[in-house]
Chains A and B, each alone.
Chain A
Amino acid sequence: MIAWELPTVLALALISGVVTLMLFRFVRRDHYLVCRPVPFVGGVVFMPLFVAIAVVLGAEWSDAERASGLVLLMVGFWASAAWLASPRTQGRWVPGLEFGPGLNFRPDLILPGGVMLVKGTILTGIGIMLAVQESFRLPKWNWWGFVLAFFGIITLIPIRGMAKMLARRDRFLGRPAGWQVPVRWGLLVGGLSILLYGFLAAFMGRTPISEFRPVAGQAPLAAALLAAGALSLLAREAWKRRLLEGVETSPARFGSNLWLYTSLVVFMYGYILAFMGRIMRPHLADNPAGLAIGATLFTLGASLILIARPVALHNELRATVRVTVGALAAMPPEARWRMMIERMRTIAAYPIPQRSWHIAAMMSAVAELDPDTSAEIERTRNEVMVTMTSEERMAMMEAMDQLVA
């Protein structure tokens, strides 16, 4: 019997809205695949696999059939995020997507890192839920829980992504960055809280707020874990400000995501304790199947955040530089000059390895433009160089010499 209930239709309507917004052709037809590359389109159209997971969890099958269906879908759920680590996910600059100075509607520049965070969190969460039961019990499903979790997804992917884009533009232009740590942290912890509460309610089969509230059992420990997770994420945001954007070492990139993941697991376990009211731990003898499936899903989630995400974030940065150069070329001459002098003064103040990386990234982006536009950008760059101080000019020349060498 097919049940057309309000929360199901509402959830499908919300998902359809996001899918349409991300795939809609806002640009000329021949520019579409340039700014929405094939892997990006695939990542978007496979996001609604949530719907299939919900159907499988609610099917009237045996536990073994539902568990195998869940695992088969979860592998696709993971793969459709993992392939977003490909550098082909991000496109090149095309005109017609500008919505502010130096800003373009480019979900391909923010989606991969955000999707990996969200899907990594969900896979880890289901993995933990399956692994810590006393006996084998599959999650249930409640569509109202998903509707609430959807707003957590919106906070973590597009809203936090936009905040990161604005923050990156301000950093690129050497503008005050004091707002960035609290805003990014607030969106991360706020988004995670909504996401975890919504999905926990959904997987427990309860309606949020009316049927799903914290219980007192382990309240002090749960509060301590939630506070520790949140504070650890704040410390991480502050630490990240000290990294040299673009030339972070691989251990620093991995370490940053390991720090994120560890804090996330602590925060998540705090949520589980708050709503279950008792210590949950694996029971190998009584629930080997739950432990095995849970460990598999946990590993898939961890691999997204620890391995794929650092790669995706670096690709996003590289593509943002590329798209910014294209956007600069399309600006009116005066606006381009103003933005370019801010950008070049910021680069001149960077330490030498970071200076060289940003100049190389910009030069390669200029080389991708058509000859006339490329010549226009180079002319503005030369005009800006003349107005810079001799120290700034020397700094730029030193980095360029190093690149040539």
Chain B
Amino acid sequence: MSDRRTSTPVKFVIAYLVVLALMLGWWTALQASTGSAAPVLTVLVAYAGPAVGWGVVTTLIGEKRRRT
């Protein structure tokens, strides 16, 4: 039976590409929000990105932690 587990370097590269895609998406949303001619929306988008990332990293992994 072959070992189908993904190696750590491959997982790291995948994780990096996901983070980079999220970062580019966040930056694009920030750029687009400046078109609204008011800083409020941009500031909201600015804080929403890291806040969502924080929630995803901690609750997703924390959730798995509770299940094990």
Partner of B50, one of A9, A25, A32, A45: A45
B8 at the interface (CB under 8 A from A): yes
B57 A72 Cβ-Cβ under 8 A: no
Q: Report the stretch among A16-24, A209-217, A370-378 that lies at the interface.
A: A16-24
Q: A15 — which chain B residues lie within 8 A by C-beta?
A: 23
A32 B23 Cβ-Cβ under 8 A: no
Q: B46 — which chain A residues lie within 8 A by C-beta?
A: 49, 52, 55-56, 73, 76
A41 at the interface (CB under 8 A from B): yes
Q: A25 — which chain B residues lie within 8 A by C-beta?
A: 61
A51 B27 Cβ-Cβ under 8 A: yes
Could you tell me the distance in whole angstroms from the C-beta of A32 to the nearest C-beta in chain B? Answer: 5
Could you mark each residue 23-42 of chain B with 1 if its beta carbon is under 8 Å from any beta carbon of chain A, else 0? 11011101110100111001
A12 B54 Cβ-Cβ under 8 A: no
Partner of A41, one of B34, B38, B54: B54
Could you mark each residue 44-68 of chain B with 1 if its beta carbon is under 8 Å from any beta carbon of chain A, else 0? 0111011001100110011011001
A20 B24 Cβ-Cβ under 8 A: no
Interface residues of A (CB under 8 A from B): 2-3, 8-9, 12-13, 15-17, 19-20, 23-26, 29-30, 32-33, 38, 41-42, 45-46, 48-49, 51-52, 55-56, 59-61, 65-66, 68-69, 72-73, 76, 80
B61 A29 Cβ-Cβ under 8 A: yes
Q: Which residue on chain A has the smallest CB distance to residue B61?
A: A32
A69 B39 Cβ-Cβ under 8 A: yes
A59 B57 Cβ-Cβ under 8 A: no
Q: B42 — which chain A residues lie within 8 A by C-beta?
A: 52, 55-56, 59, 69
Partner of A38, one of B34, B53, B58: B58
A56 B39 Cβ-Cβ under 8 A: yes
A16-B53 contact in complex given A25-B61, A30-B68, A52-B42, C-beta closer than 8 Å: no
Complex Cα gap A76–B45 (Å): 13
Partner of B27, one of A12, A32, A41: A12
What is the interface of chain A mostly: helix, strand, loop, or mixed?
helix
Q: B8 — which chain A residues lie within 8 A by C-beta?
A: 26
Q: B54 — which chain A residues lie within 8 A by C-beta?
A: 41-42, 45-46
A46 B50 Cβ-Cβ under 8 A: yes
Complex Cα gap A30–B30 (Å): 35
A45 B34 Cβ-Cβ under 8 A: no
Q: A73 — which chain B residues lie within 8 A by C-beta?
A: 43, 46
Complex Cα gap A60–B50 (Å): 24
Q: Which residue on chain B has the smallest CB distance to residue A23?
A: B57
Q: B28 — which chain A residues lie within 8 A by C-beta?
A: 2
Q: B34 — which chain A residues lie within 8 A by C-beta?
A: 55-56, 59-61
Q: A26 — which chain B residues lie within 8 A by C-beta?
A: 8
Q: Which residue on chain A has the smallest CB distance to residue B22?
A: A16
Could you tell me the distance in whole angstroms from the C-beta of A41 to the nearest C-beta in chain B? Answer: 5
A48 B39 Cβ-Cβ under 8 A: no
A52-B65 contact in complex given A20-B15, A24-B15, C-beta closer than 8 Å: no
Q: Which residue on chain B has the smallest CB distance to residue A62?
A: B37
Could you tell me the distance in whole angstroms from the C-beta of A195 to the nearest C-beta in chain B? Answer: 21
Q: A68 — which chain B residues lie within 8 A by C-beta?
A: 39
A16 B16 Cβ-Cβ under 8 A: yes
Q: Which residues of B from 1 to 32 have beta carbons under 8 Å from A?
A: 8, 11-12, 15-16, 19-20, 23-24, 26-28, 30-32
B62 A48 Cβ-Cβ under 8 A: no
Complex Cα gap A80–B50 (Å): 10
